[in-house]
Amino acid sequence: MAKKKRKASRKSSRSSAALTQQALKLIDKAAALMKTGVIAGAKQGAKTKVIAKKKAYTLADAAIRQLNRAVLKGGKVIRKGIKKL
């Protein structure tokens, strides 16, 4: 019997890479926000630090969700590959 040729699926790896890039952008934004929060907080007081901290946590949580999605998609691809063996 002849083996069927399969097309390599790159769509899932591209989407995982896109999710990872989005997560890295969010982490960069959170880091920049914390840096400006520390600088501004030293000048303006504790309220500014608290606001910057909350925004940074929100961005970090969004980045974590993005990375979780990327890992889950990668896991699905691996499982499909193993099933096809």
Query: What gap in Å lies between CA 10 and CA 16, rounded to an integer?
Result: 10
Question: Which has more pLDDT, 31 or 3?
Answer: 31
Q: What is the mean pLDDT of the chain?
A: 77
pLDDT digits (tens, 9 = 90+) for 54-79: 888 888 888 888 888 888 888 888 88
Is residue 77 domain-resident?
yes
Is residue 53 domain-resident?
yes
Is residue 9 domain-resident?
no
Is residue 15 domain-resident?
no
What is the reported pLDDT for 48? Answer: 76
- The answer to whether 63 and 26 are in contact (CB under 8 A) is yes
- Give the structural domain span for 80: 21-84
Give how many domains the chain has, as a whole number.
1
Is residue 54 domain-resident?
yes
Q: Any idea what DSSP says for residue 7?
A: -
Apex CA 13: angle with CA 81 and CA 20, to 5°?
130
Look at residues 64, 78, 71, 80 and name the one whose alpha carbon lies nearest to residue 27. Answer: 64
Of all residues in the chain, the percent with pLDDT exceeding 70 is 74
Question: Which has more pLDDT, 75 or 49?
Answer: 75
At residue 23, does pLDDT exceed 70?
yes
